[in-house]
Amino acid sequence: MNRNISLLALAIIATASISFTACKKASDASVEPTTSSTSTSTPGTNNPVVSDGVPDIYKKIYGATDIYVDGDYVVIKVNGLPDHKSPYYLSTQWESTMYEAYNGTNPQFNLNPNRISEAKITFRIPMNPKE
């Protein structure tokens, strides 16, 4: 499950990056960072902490815990945790807020033995990729 979430996050970021660079005019050869004076959220929420200097396009990323500029790279950190309630939060540190019993109509449903766990993943994306 964590691998699927990681692959999905990577696919979303890659798609956003490709869309962003594919739509640039020749005169837009490099991305200049924008500045903001405050963070937009706190870690562990749906909105990431976005540091000063992060280009606006990266501020749209959902589910990251931290986004910041490190030299010529934008660094995006995620924890891999779903933001919705699930039966797989049972017996985890998030059980009190994120656990929800199965409420479907499938009489054959069986909870598998796996549980949701945090996976700290860091993406480093060049601010000015070269072809």
Containing domain of residue 24, as a range? Answer: 2-81+116-126
* Side chain identity, residue 109: F
Whole-model pTM: value is: 0.58
Read off the pLDDT of residues 47-69 as tens digits, 9 standing for 90 and up.
568 888 899 899 888 889 999 99
Beta bridge partners of 105: none
d(CA 71, CA 46): 26
Q: H/E element holding 26?
A: none
Token pair in block for residue 3: 């691998």
The vertex-93 CA angle with 95 and 104, nearest 5°, equals 25
Tokens 């796996």 label which residue?
114
> Looking at the 3D structure of the chain, how many domains does it have?
1
d(CA 82, CA 89): 10
Contact 91, 117 (CB under 8 A): no
Read off the pLDDT of residues 72-108 as tens digits, 9 standing for 90 and up.
999 999 999 998 999 999 989 999 999 999 998 999 9
53 lies in some domain: yes
73 lies in some domain: yes
16 lies in some domain: yes
The vertex-59 CA angle with 88 and 63, nearest 5°, equals 0
